Chains A and B, each alone.
Chain A
Amino acid sequence: MATITLKVNRQAHTLECASTTLLVDALREQLRLTGTHVGCDTSQCGACTVHVNGASIKSCTMLALEADGAEITTIEGLAQGGELHPMQAAFKEHHGLQCGFCTPGMIMSATDLCRRTPDPSEHEVRHWLEGNLCRCTGYHNIVKSVRAGAAGMRGGK
């Protein structure tokens, strides 16, 4: 076991982790941040996507020990002051979610896309999201939501 300190959703935590503990398990099991989901065991589905030091990563591909000293944002940390983040609001507005299971990963991935590419084309959105699987929506409304969310983020809303 090793001790790590990290900031999750702007709050500092000290955790005791085994060398094999994945970041996603530390978040879900130790910090009880269950909004980050696990949909596969081969790093394909993207349901576990979080931000580490501002960039989106699949938290099933990272050991908790590797996150020592990192600043992490999960889906629970995106909305501030009770207001949905523009990307969350866009997913609601455009019906970008059905069962909700892939949604946290989709949104964390999409916000990183828009940080890098503030006005992504449909083509860019579809290719950026190739690491995030959704079984409900056929992606049609997710793509619409991400582009609308990008506009919302540009508008600083």
Chain B
Amino acid sequence: MVTDGVGASIKRKEDRRFLLGKGNYTDDITLPNQAYAVFVRSMYAHAKITAIDTAAAKAAPGVIGVLTGEDVAADGLGGLPCGWLVKNKDGSNMVEPPHPALAHGKVRHVGDPVVMVIATSRAAAHAAAGLVDVSYDALPAVGLLADAVKPGAPVVWDEAAGNICYDWHIGDPATTDAGFAKAAHVVELDLTNSRVAPNAMEPRAANGHYDAANDHYTLYTTSQNPHLIRLLMAAFTLHVPEHKLRIVAPDVGGGFGSKIFHYAEELLTVWASRKVGRPVKWTSDRSEAFHSDAHGRDHISHAALALDASGKFLGLRVKTLANMGAYLSTFASAVPTYLYATLLSGPYDFPAIYAEVKAIFTNTVAVDAYRGAGRPEATYLLERLVDKAARDLKIDPIELRRKNLIRTDQFPYQTQVALQYDIGDYQSTLDLALAANDHAGYGKRKAASAANGKLRGWGMSTYIEACGIAPSALAGALGARAGLYEAGTVRVHPTGSVTVFTGTHSHGQGHETTFAQLVAEKLGVSTDNVEIVHGDTDRISFGMGTYGSRSAAVGGSAIVKALDKVIDKGKKIAAHLLEASVGDIEFKDGTYRVAGTDRVKAFGEIAFAAYVPHNYPIDTVEPGLEEQAYYDPKNFTFPGGTHLVEVEIDPDTGVVEVVDVTISDDVGVIINPMIVDGQAHGGLAQGIGQALYEEVRYDAEGQLTNGSFMDYCMPRAADLPNFKVGNHVTACTHNPIGVKGVGEVGAIGVPPAVINAVLDALAPLGVHDISMPATPEKVWRAIQAAKSTKTNQTKRGA
């Protein structure tokens, strides 16, 4: 029996190459005769391009090509497509403006690529890029979401009046109105969800190679979904058939959503390679990344919660403005609709919900999916609102949540916003978190903090998310332009070792280990004898990639389905060899057995027989042992849980220190506890980062004012505590593994818990609201403002 199957915290198979410095990231790949590209990008947020003078750049040493938007248009390259069509309330389509790979006529955000300079070295390309002279006529620009909806705001696209991309809604306004009409209390809240940068540590890169002799294109790229990139390039942008186009996403240094999307540089390096006759590599600088990678979040919302006298929820109303940036990125339109508003019921039993979402264009880089994608925004809104209700109505925030959490006997639970949750146990995750946090001892800890001159605060959130994206038919009905199944191929070799080909992509998640554990569990083969292949469209038949915590739930399920086919074929071979009927053969722990007897064949013997079919049921069973499966999920999966945070605030400086983070998640069946904990840690760091440190700042005119690691506050080791991570498992009811997904839970659950803790600490001072990130300056100012309000009130009173 194997010891490295599902549930074992085995060490990662992929670690050795990374630890030895032998990882193979896109920028590590240098091809023979390699050329290098650098982009000249707009410094204007909105401008007409009046002239582009490339003569000096073309004459510079080492330069072999200078390409502009006119060249892109002349060669008929397609614009970058949006993958999800959202309909307006009136049934009409969203506004879908063009997105040329190089700006043509106008630039619409700082960082919009205008000219591509290709040279024999990176230094030569950089030097020549400085010689390109682009003349602009500046146009009025709008850099902030709040400004873009004001009357008379600068218009990003002529076809989008009022800068509205779409005006969409979900839920039932009439039942929601009825809920509010009978409410004993209505609690309202205005809040923003701050704009953040994903900042995977590996900057994006692309290396395109056109092989003229074979009329074949290869692209090495930092992608979470190479097949999706191939699909979009074949069908929309490069216009070459899939069999002439190979996309390789080798080792990728983190993605967090930002490497899902089809970016201009992917198309342009491949196209430029055809034009200059050499492979062309581009690697983003970090500052360039801030200006060209899709950002995340950036919502402004108004929410209202109706409660009866006992605190039971009667209805929820939400109005949200979502920033799209200047262009619609690949999944941008789906994030504030189907990944956000559909989650507004959270883990609660809501009889009525109505949400309206307007997506708005601004002169900023695109906003698209970032770790959690919509679900953190929904959770932040709901959990801030519920906490406000508890505070306003003087109800214990734990008890208010308990009263409204969906009970275990209510599953499957149909929400008022389209989703049906299959299973969950929210009371148990809450109980576990409270116990692990030693909530009973909180009073003592608060007193100890006070003795040190610190304000201690305690905050919580109970959350749910939808993962395992997605049932294709449902996604299609909601406007998705792709299926969202996954493919897996299991190749058993003659000696019984196994290679698995998966359409998902691992960029830190550890699939090379966890997927091998699935094989070990099913076939009884040690993980040492299993190799997982991902990230190459020439090696893997198809796939949709990794995002939305879909890899195990959808990709893993495809592999399990293929493994079942392998086992079934093996039964036929075993039946022949053991001279029994197929129905009498059982398979367990790597052994085929005639049920109830000691007549057995090891899995390895069956594999060998399949490839050396001397004694074989050749009339009915083909030789070989390789099976493929496509798995289309029946539903989303619904992880959930409770996150608890304690902070200490220095009232003199406003510095917030996170002193305790205790979480209890239900992520379904756990394949590798060590890896699952690690995924939770990473999500928590990004969630705490958003709550306290990080924010992308544009000014009103669309200039990005903190586009580097000098200016954008990434969480560092000393900024974060150790995390107490616990799990309570309810198995997903509709996939063969029972997994739900863990990659995003931290980023979803923890931001409101942090802010609720900050507000809990500051409430006695009279501070009732604070926005993310709760920086020392913001906290200090809030304290001072509350003090002066109190002083004024006292004066007036006197």
Q: Assuming the A-B contacts A42-B708, A95-B675, A99-B507, are A35 and B201 also in contact, with contact meaning beta carbons closer than 8 angstroms in the complex?
A: no
CA separation between A76 and B28, bound complex, in Å?
14
Q: Assuming the A-B contacts A35-B22, A99-B508, are A92 and B722 also in contact, with contact meaning beta carbons closer than 8 angstroms in the complex?
A: no
Query: At the interface with chain B, which of A51-59, A64-72, A124-132?
Result: A124-132
| Contact indicator B678/A95 (Cβ below 8 Å) | yes
B253 within 8 A of A: yes
| Contact indicator B253/A37 (Cβ below 8 Å) | yes
Q: Which interface residue of A37, A38, A98 has the most chain B CB atoms within 10 A?
A: A98
Q: Assuming the A-B contacts A40-B286, A138-B723, are A129 and B716 also in contact, with contact meaning beta carbons closer than 8 angstroms in the complex?
A: yes
Residues of B within 8 A of A130 (CB): 716-718
Which partner residue on chain A sits nearest B15 by CB separation?
Answer: A92
A62 within 8 A of B: no
B16 within 8 A of A: yes
Which partner residue on chain A sits nearest B710 by CB separation?
Answer: A42
B21 within 8 A of A: yes
B595 within 8 A of A: no
Of A79, A134, A142, the residue contacting B201 (CB under 8 A) is A134
Q: Which interface residue of B202, B710, B746 has the most chain A CB atoms within 10 A?
A: B202
| Contact indicator A102/B717 (Cβ below 8 Å) | no
| Contact indicator B508/A136 (Cβ below 8 Å) | yes
Residues of B within 8 A of A74 (CB): 21
| Contact indicator B22/A76 (Cβ below 8 Å) | yes
A103 within 8 A of B: yes
| Contact indicator A98/B254 (Cβ below 8 Å) | yes
Which partner residue on chain A sits nearest B21 by CB separation?
Answer: A35
Residues of B within 8 A of A33 (CB): 21
A16 within 8 A of B: no
Query: At the interface with chain A, which of B547-555, B606-614, B680-688?
Result: B680-688
| Contact indicator A40/B709 (Cβ below 8 Å) | yes
Q: Assuming the A-B contacts A40-B708, A135-B686, are A79 and B20 also in contact, with contact meaning beta carbons closer than 8 angstroms in the complex?
A: yes
Residues of A within 8 A of B678 (CB): 95, 98, 136-137, 141
CA separation between A133 and B682, bound complex, in Å?
12
A2-48 contacts to B, CB under 8 A, are: 18, 20, 28-29, 32-42, 44-45, 47
Q: Assuming the A-B contacts A133-B716, A137-B681, are A41 and B287 also in contact, with contact meaning beta carbons closer than 8 angstroms in the complex?
A: yes
CA separation between A140 and B23, bound complex, in Å?
23
B720 within 8 A of A: yes
Residues of B within 8 A of A32 (CB): 30
Residues of B within 8 A of A95 (CB): 11-12, 674-675, 677-678
| Contact indicator A45/B201 (Cβ below 8 Å) | yes
Residues of B within 8 A of A126 (CB): 717-718
CA separation between A88 and B678, bound complex, in Å?
17
Residues of A within 8 A of B714 (CB): 44, 133, 135
B477 within 8 A of A: no
B51 within 8 A of A: no
CA separation between A126 and B251, bound complex, in Å?
27
Which partner residue on chain A sits nearest B254 by CB separation?
Answer: A99
CA separation between A91 and B532, bound complex, in Å?
22
Residues of A within 8 A of B683 (CB): 138
| Contact indicator B253/A99 (Cβ below 8 Å) | yes
| Contact indicator B716/A140 (Cβ below 8 Å) | no
B730 within 8 A of A: no
Which partner residue on chain B sits nearest A9 by CB separation?
Answer: B21
CA separation between A71 and B701, bound complex, in Å?
50
A150 within 8 A of B: no
| Contact indicator B285/A41 (Cβ below 8 Å) | yes
Which partner residue on chain B sits nearest A140 by CB separation?
Answer: B681
Q: How large, as a class, is the contact surface on chain A?
A: 35 or more
Residues of A within 8 A of B30 (CB): 29, 32
| Contact indicator A41/B708 (Cβ below 8 Å) | yes
A76-98 contacts to B, CB under 8 A, are: 76, 78-79, 84, 88, 91-93, 95, 97-98
CA separation between A130 and B719, bound complex, in Å?
9
Residues of A within 8 A of B19 (CB): 75, 79, 84, 88, 91-92, 97, 100, 103, 107
| Contact indicator B20/A76 (Cβ below 8 Å) | yes
B178 within 8 A of A: no
Residues of A within 8 A of B28 (CB): 28, 34
B252 within 8 A of A: yes
| Contact indicator A143/B722 (Cβ below 8 Å) | yes
CB distance from A90 to the nearest CB of B (A): 10
CB distance from A24 to the nearest CB of B (A): 12
B509 within 8 A of A: yes
Residues of B within 8 A of A18 (CB): 123
Residues of B within 8 A of A40 (CB): 286, 708-709
Which partner residue on chain B sits nearest A87 by CB separation?
Answer: B19
Which partner residue on chain A sits nearest B289 by CB separation?
Answer: A40
CA separation between A140 and B679, bound complex, in Å?
11
Residues of B within 8 A of A132 (CB): 717
B25 within 8 A of A: yes
Residues of B within 8 A of A136 (CB): 201, 254, 508, 678, 682
CB distance from A20 to the nearest CB of B (A): 7
Of B202, B287, B723, the residue contacting A37 (CB under 8 A) is B202
CA separation between A133 and B172, bound complex, in Å?
46
B203 within 8 A of A: yes
Residues of B within 8 A of A133 (CB): 201, 709, 714, 716
Residues of A within 8 A of B722 (CB): 122, 140, 143
CA separation between A137 and B715, bound complex, in Å?
11
Which partner residue on chain A sits nearest B24 by CB separation?
Answer: A34
| Contact indicator A42/B709 (Cβ below 8 Å) | yes
CB distance from B102 to the nearest CB of A (A): 23
| Contact indicator A135/B708 (Cβ below 8 Å) | no
| Contact indicator A98/B708 (Cβ below 8 Å) | no
| Contact indicator A92/B685 (Cβ below 8 Å) | no
Residues of A within 8 A of B364 (CB): none
| Contact indicator B682/A97 (Cβ below 8 Å) | no
Residues of B within 8 A of A28 (CB): 28
CA separation between A139 and B677, bound complex, in Å?
12
Residues of A within 8 A of B20 (CB): 35, 75-76, 79, 84, 88
CA separation between A140 and B678, bound complex, in Å?
8
Q: Which interface residue of B14, B30, B508, B684 has the most chain A CB atoms within 10 A?
A: B508
B716-742 contacts to A, CB under 8 A, are: 716-718, 720, 722-723
CA separation between A6 and B684, bound complex, in Å?
43
Residues of B within 8 A of A84 (CB): 16, 19-20
B296 within 8 A of A: no
B431-464 contacts to A, CB under 8 A, are: none
| Contact indicator B15/A141 (Cβ below 8 Å) | no
| Contact indicator B717/A125 (Cβ below 8 Å) | yes
Q: Which interface residue of A79, A97, A135, A140 has the most chain B CB atoms within 10 A?
A: A135
Which partner residue on chain A sits nearest B686 by CB separation?
Answer: A135
| Contact indicator B682/A41 (Cβ below 8 Å) | no
CA separation between A122 and B717, bound complex, in Å?
10
CA separation between A104 and B19, bound complex, in Å?
7
Q: Assuming the A-B contacts A44-B709, A138-B681, are A101 and B254 also in contact, with contact meaning beta carbons closer than 8 angstroms in the complex?
A: yes
Complex A-B, nearest 3 residue pairs according to Cβ-Cβ distance, in ascending order: A35-B21, A101-B253, A100-B18
Q: Which residue numbers of B lie inside 8 Å of A, CB to CB?
A: 11-12, 14-25, 27-28, 30, 123, 199-203, 251-254, 256, 283, 285-287, 507-510, 674-675, 677-678, 681-686, 708-710, 714-718, 720, 722-723, 746
Question: A35-B20, A44-B710, A137-B682 are known contacts; what are 10 more A-B pairs with Cβ within 8 Å?
Answer: A34-B28, A45-B709, A84-B16, A97-B18, A98-B508, A100-B17, A125-B717, A133-B716, A135-B714, A136-B682
A-B pairs with beta carbons under 8 Å apart, 30 shown: A28-B28, A35-B21, A35-B22, A37-B201, A38-B27, A39-B202, A39-B203, A44-B708, A47-B201, A78-B21, A91-B15, A95-B674, A95-B675, A97-B19, A98-B678, A98-B682, A99-B253, A100-B253, A101-B25, A103-B18, A127-B718, A129-B716, A129-B718, A130-B716, A132-B717, A135-B685, A136-B682, A138-B682, A140-B681, A140-B720
